[in-house]
Structure 1
Amino acid sequence: MNKKPISFGKISLNINKPAKDDASTSGFGTFGRIPIQEQKEIEEIADDLENQHVHQIMGIKNFGKKAKNFNVEEMMEQAKKTAQEVTKNKIDAETNKEVSNNSESEDDSYIGPPVPPGLQDDSEELIGPPIPKEILEGNTKSTSKVKTTSKRNESNSEEDSYDELSGSDDDDVSLEKKIPNTHEVEMLHGSKAVVALAVDPSGARLATGSVDYDVAFWDFAGMDSSMRSFRTLQPCENHPIKALQYSATGDSILVVSGAAQAKVLDRDGFEVLECVKGDQYITDMAKTKGHTASLNSGCWHPHIREEFMTCSQDGTLRLWLTENPKQHKSVIKPRQQGGLRTNPTACTFSRDGNTVACGCFDGSIQMWDHRRNFVNTTTLLRDAHQKQTEISSICYSYLGTQLASRGNDDTLKLWDLRNFKKPLNVFNDLFSRYEQTDCGFSPDDSLIFTGESLQRNQDVGRLLFYDTKTYKHVTSIEVSKSHVIKSIWHAKLNQIFVGCGNGTIKCYYDQKRSLRGAKLCIVKTHRKKSSVGIVSTQQIITPHALPLFRQEKLRTSKKRMEKDRLDPVKSRRPDLPITSGQGGRVAASGSTLSSFVIRNLGLSKRVDDEQDPREAILKYAKEAEENPFWVAPAYKKTQPQPIFQNENEEGPTDPKKQKTS
C-alpha cells in the first residue's frame, strides 16, 4: 500500500523513496571521492536531519514554514534604479511641456521600490522580518526631493536623498545662541562672597560655600519660587569654605576649608569622615599622615568613587581614600626651579582620571601620571603664569585635548596638551580679586568662560565667553553689581550657575534648551501659611483642672480680697519684728556683734546692750588672769616657763655677735 507523502507548507517528505544501489552501501562502501551532490539535495538532507532531531526530542515533525530571505542590498539597488528612471521621465516631461491626460496618469503612477517576487502573491502568507519602513520612506522622500529640483544631476539627487534619509540639519547655530541665558533666577546665600559651588551629576541639588563659614544645600525638586535652601550648616567651625564638589555618583560631597582637615558629607549634610591632621613639627611631609597647613583646593576622582585629592599650603598634594581617612594614600611634592618646595593653589584630575594636574604659586603647571608613582612629572611648564601669583583654576576640556588655566595675573590661557610649550591664546585684562576665581568649557568645547572681579571704575561684574577656535570674544553676561567668582556650566541641565561677591547665586537657563533644575522651582508658587486664631467657647480641661489640683473659685470679689489679705505673699506684708535670731537674722536688741557673742556664750548674767562692751569684758580681766578658764588649763602641764626681756637691755640683740663662754 502506497503511503501519501507528508506535506506541511512547501516542505514535503516522500516516504517511498527509490532505493539506492546496494553496491554503493554494502560492505565498507566505495573508495575514492564522494560524488558531488546538488545544493538542493544537501539542503533537503540537512532539513531531514534537523526534523529527525526535533522528532526525537520533542515528538514534533515538520512544524512552521521556512522563513523567506530578502537581500536588502539588492532591493536598495533596484529602488535607486527605479527612482532614477522615474526622475528622468519626469524631467523629460517637464522640458517638453506635455500637458495631457497622460501626464495625470503618470503622476498617479507608482513610485517606489519594486515589490519582491515573494510578496506579489496575496494568498501566500509572509513569514520573516518585513522590509524596514525607513528604506521605503527614504526612497519616497528621495523621489519627492527630485521633483522640486528639475536641473540636477543623478549624483546630486542621490546626495539629497541621503540627506533626507539621515535627517541632518546643516544650519549651524551661532555660538551666542548656544549659551542658555534667556532667563535667570537669583538665590540668596548670605551677605559674604560665595567662593564655592557644586552641582551633583544628576542636577538635582546645588551646594554653595561662602567666606562666612556656611554651606547651604538647595534641592530643585523641593524648592518653590522663593528659592530658599533647605539646610545651612557650618561643617568646619570658623574656617571659610574654599571648595566644594560632589562625587561621581553624587552620594557625597567634599568640603575643603581653611583648616588643614578636609571633610566628606553625605547628600543631606551629615558628616561621613574627616581627614587626619599631620604633625606640624616634622619637616618631611611624606612622613606625616595628613596636611599640616590650611587647604587650598580639592576634587574627586572622576571614575574611582572612593578617591579624592587635596592640596595645601604645606606644599603637598595628597590622595585619600574614604575607606581610610586616618592616613593618606600617596603624597605628591611639587618643586620649584631650584628644587625648593612650592605651594599648589589649584588641583584637578583629567577627564579620564589618568593625569593629576596642579597649578603652583611659582606660576608653573605640573602633571603626574596617576597610574605610576608620583616621583617625576610627566608634563612640566615653568612659566605658565606670572611668578608669585596664584593659579586659581585649572580645567580640562571634555575631549581632553585642551587645558584652560586662570590666574591672578589677570589672564586666562588656553593650552593644547599635544603641544604644551606655548599657549594657544592668552586672554588679558581679566581682573581677579579672589583665589577661587575659576574657568570652564562649554559641553561641546566650543566656548570657554570665566568670571571677572570689579575694579574701581566698574559697576557690574561680568561672565565672559570666548570662542576656543577663533579666540574671539563671543558675548558677556552682566551678572550683578559685585564680583563674579565661581561659575559652572552643567552639561546635563544645560544651565549656568554663578557665585557672586555679594552672597547671591545666579542661575541662567534657556526655556527651550535647558532641562529641569531651576525650571522646576519657578513654576511652584510660594504660599504663606495663614494663621487663623481659634477661639473656643467650651471649657478646656487640663490636668490642673482636676479636683485634686483645682483651686477654689470664689464667687465674689470681696471674699477673694479677704483671702488674699491673709496671704503674706500676695498682700506683700513686711517682715515682723523678731525676738530671737532665726534664718540668719538677729533680733533688734542683739544687733551688735558683742551682744550676740555674749548671748551665745551662755553666760549666766544678762548683759545690758546699752553699756560699753569693752568695759563689760574688762570686768572679768583680773578674774581670767587669776583663774583661767578657756586656754590656760589645756596647756597647764606642758606650758613652758615664759622668759621676758630685761628692762635694762634696750634694743634687739645682734644675731651675728659671737657667743662668749
Structure 2
Amino acid sequence: MDAKKVDEDAMADVEDIGSVMGFSGFGKKARTFDLDAIFEQTRRTAIERSQRVLEERQKDTQMEEDSESSSSVKPSGHKQKKKAAASSSKEKNESSSDHSDSDSELIRPPKEEEEDDAVGPPLPPGYRGSTAESEDEDDEDEEETQDDDDNPVKKIPATHEITLEHGTKTVSALALDPSGARLVTGGYDYDVRFWDFAGMDQSLQAFRTLQPCECHQIKSLKYSITGDVILVVSGNAQAKVLDRDGFNIMECIKGDQYIVDMANTKGHTAMLNCGCWHPKIKEEFMTCSNDGTVRTWDVHTEKKHKSVFKPRSNKGKKVIPTCCTYSRDGKLIAAGCQDGTIQIWDRNLSVHTKFHCQQAHAPGSDTSCLCFSYDGVTLASRGGDDTLKIWDIRNFRKPVNEAKGLTNYFSMTDCCFSPDDKLVVTGTSVKKDEGNGKLVFFDRLSFQKVYEIEVTNASVVRCLWHPKLNQIMTGTGNGLARIYYDPVKSHRGAKLCVVKSKRKEKHAEALTQDYVITPHALPMFREARQRSTRKQLEKDRLDPKKSHKPEPPVSGPGRGGRVAAHGGTLSSFIVKNIALDKTDDSNPREAILRHAREASENPYWIAPAYTQTQPEPVFAEESDEDEEADKEPEWKKRKI
C-alpha cells in the first residue's frame, strides 16, 4: 500500500509539472504490444497461404492427368508412379504444415518455393515475355560485339564529317590536346589557328590566329602529355614552346654555324624538320634539323640542349634526319634519314645506335613519318618512295609488311595506328586537278587495304586518330582540316560544335547614343532614363538629324563641290561657301543690276552719307565731230 501511495504521489507530481510547463501529453506511458498475439496471427496467415498454394498445385496436377488420359493411354505402372509421387508430395506438405503448427516462431515455405529463384507466381508453360525478349536482345548485342571485334572496319568513325577552313595553302601541321578539347592547325601560310570544340558553333571559326615564327612555314605542332604547352617546329632553326593561348614561353637557342662538330654547339644551325614531346617526361622534347643532328631539350633550360644524337651513314658520313619520334615508353629515340635509313638509339646512350636498318626506304627519299604502335613493339614508317612499311624492332633487318603505290609529295605525310592497334592509317598525295587525295586504312596483321576515304581534290598531308575522342583529323593540301566522326562511337570533339546553332551577328547601330547618368543635374536638364533601346531606336529613326547618314571624309583639296577642312582662312571659307556653290545658275551681272533702280530711287546705305558733300556729276557733251569720227571707218581712226 505504501508503494502504491508513492506511485500515486509521483503521478500527481508529474501531472502538476506538465500543467505548469504546458505539455499536454507529459508523463504518459509508452504504447505496449502483445508479441504473442502478433506471432500467432502471422503463423495462421502463413498456414492458410501454404494450404492455398497446395490446393492449386493439386488442381494443376489433376488437370494434367486428365488431359494425358484423354489424349493417350498410359501404362498402369506410369500412373501408379505419378500417384505415388503426388501422394508423397501431399504427405510432405502435410508434414510441413504440421511442423508449422507446432512451431510458433519460424515459418518456412515449401521446399519447391525455396528452390525457385523467380519472384512471384510461376510462369505458364510456353510463355515468352519480356524475359525472353531481353535474353534475345542480349544475344544480339553479343553477336554484334563479336562481329565488331572480328571486323575492325566497323570501328572506323567515318559516317559524318565537318570541315574547318584553315586558309588557302597546305595544312602541314595538326595537333590535338590529350583531352581532345582543343585543335591546333598550322600551314604553309605561316599561320597557327586555335579551334575550341566546346566554344565553336556551326560556323566553325577559329578563336585565335597568330604567326609565331614570322615568315617561316609551320612544319610540326605537338601538344605535351599534360596539354598545357605546344611545341612549334617551323622552317626556322629555333623551335618555340607556346602555352594553350598562344603566348610564347620558351625559344630554343641558335647554334654557331661556323663550328664543324655540331655536338659542340648549343643549338641547331639549320632548318628544322620535325619535333615531338617525351611521352613520360612533360618538360622534355626533341627536334631534328638539316644540320644533321637530333637534339633533346628541356623547357626550363633554353640556353642549351640536353643531348645530341648524330645519324651517320654506313660510311660514317653525316646524313640529314627528316623525322623523329620517341617510343611509347620513352626509352628509345628513332629517326628517319634522307639516305633511306632508320636509326634508333637508346635515350641514355647517344653515341652508337641500338637498331639500324640501312635500306629501309629508297636512298634520297625523305622518310616523312615514324610511328610506334601502342604495344611498343611495332614501328610504322612512311617513306618518300611511295611506300608504307611495318617493322618489328626485335627483328629490324627487314620489314614485316609493305604497301606500295601510296603517292607521297610532302616531307611530313603522316601515318598512325588505330586506338585498338589493329589498323594502320596514312594519306596519299595527288597533283593539282588530277584526282582526289585519299585516307587509306590497312589491316596491321595481313596488311591488306580494308578501307579508304576520298577526302578532297588535294593531297592528304596530315592524319591523326585521337584515342579518347575516337575521331580522325586530316590536313589537306588546299588549306582544309577535315574531321571524321561517328555519332555513336565517337565522344565529344566535333559532336559538340555541330549541334550548336550559329550566333546572330549584332550589328552596331549608328543611331544609338550612350545614356549619360547625371544624378545631380537640375530637373530641366536631366534626361529621362531609357526603358528600352528599341523605342529609342524608333524615335531616333524619325529624327532627320540623327538618322542622316554621315558624309564621308574628303581627301585632297576638294572633290564633288566639297572642300577639305584643312583651310581655315577667309579665302577657303569663300571658296567653300560661295565660289563652289552651284545652286544659283543665274547671270551674276543681272543679279547685281536688279538692285540698281531701287538703290537710285531709295538710297539707304551709302548715298545718304554723301548728300551734302557729293559733287554733281558733269558729263562731256557730244559734238558733231565726235559723231563724224564715230562714223569714220575703222582703219581711219586714230590709234590712241
**TM-score of Structure 1 vs Structure 2, range by shorter chain:** 0.5 to 0.7
Of 323, 329, 353, the match for 1:352: 329
Residue 570 of structure 1 is matched in structure 2 by 573
**Does 1:288 pair with 2:265?**
yes
Distance 1:568 1:195, change over 3 A: same
Q: 1:169 offset after TM fit, Å?
A: 7.2
Distance 1:569 1:505, change over 3 A: same
2:451 is paired with a residue whose SS is: strand
Residue 524 of structure 1 is matched in structure 2 by 500
Distance 1:298 1:532, change over 3 A: closer
1:340-394 deviations in Å (ceiling 9; x for gaps): 0100000000001010001011111111111x22111111111100001110000
Residue 424 of structure 1 is matched in structure 2 by 400
Q: 1:469 offset after TM fit, Å?
A: 1.3
Distance 2:104 2:224 in 1: 62
**Does 1:275 pair with 2:252?**
yes
Give the TM-score taking structure 1 as reference length: 0.58
Contact 2:186 2:220 in 1 (8 A): yes
Distance 1:417 1:531, change over 3 A: same
Residue 219 of structure 2 is matched in structure 1 by 242
Distance 1:522 1:344 in 2: 40
Of 183, 186, 193, the match for 2:170: 193
| Structure 1: unaligned runs, 5 residues or longer | 1-92, 105-120, 125-135, 149-159, 543-563, 574-661
Amino acid at match of 1:397: S
Distance 2:410 2:317 in 1: 26
Distance 1:451 1:280, change over 3 A: same
Aligned Cα RMSD in Å?
3.6
Contact 1:565 1:571 in 2 (8 A): no
Distance 1:260 1:532, change over 3 A: closer
Q: 1:531 offset after TM fit, Å?
A: 2.5
Contact 2:368 2:413 in 1 (8 A): yes
Distance 1:287 1:521, change over 3 A: same
1:277-328 deviations in Å (ceiling 9; x for gaps): 0000000101100000000000000010000000000000000001101100
**Does 1:445 pair with 2:421?**
yes
Distance 1:122 1:506, change over 3 A: farther
**Does 1:412 pair with 2:415?**
no
Q: 1:420 offset after TM fit, Å?
A: 1.4
Amino acid at match of 1:482: A
1:171 is paired with a residue whose SS is: helix
Give the TM-score taking structure 2 as reference length: 0.60
Residue 393 of structure 1 is matched in structure 2 by 369
| Structure 2: unaligned runs, 5 residues or longer | 1-63, 72-78, 87-102, 107-114, 127-134, 519-566, 577-640
Q: How many residues in Structure 1 have an aligned counterpart in Structure 2?
A: 411
**Does 1:224 pair with 2:195?**
no
**Does 1:487 pair with 2:463?**
yes
Distance 2:423 2:476 in 1: 21
Amino acid at match of 1:171: Q
Distance 1:289 1:540 in 2: 61
Q: 1:534 offset after TM fit, Å?
A: 6.3
Q: 1:493 offset after TM fit, Å?
A: 0.2
Distance 1:320 1:568 in 2: 72
Contact 2:222 2:277 in 1 (8 A): yes
Residue 620 of structure 1 is matched in structure 2 by none
**Does 1:339 pair with 2:342?**
no
Residue 128 of structure 1 is matched in structure 2 by none
Distance 1:487 1:565, change over 3 A: closer
2:500 is paired with a residue whose SS is: coil
Of 171, 180, 191, the match for 1:203: 180
Distance 1:389 1:569, change over 3 A: same
Distance 2:512 2:190 in 1: 47
Amino acid at match of 2:419: P
1:518-560 deviations in Å (ceiling 9; x for gaps): 1000111112324274647999999xxxxxxxxxxxxxxxxxx
Distance 1:292 1:351 in 2: 29
Amino acid at match of 1:340: K
Distance 2:142 2:569 in 1: 101
Distance 2:441 2:390 in 1: 13
Distance 1:443 1:367 in 2: 24
Amino acid at match of 2:445: K
Q: 1:566 offset after TM fit, Å?
A: 9.7
1:571 is paired with a residue whose SS is: helix
Q: How does 1:131-210 map to 2 (within 5 A)?
A: 171-173=146-148, 174-210=151-187
**% identical aligned pairs:** 52
Of 354, 365, 379, the match for 1:378: 354
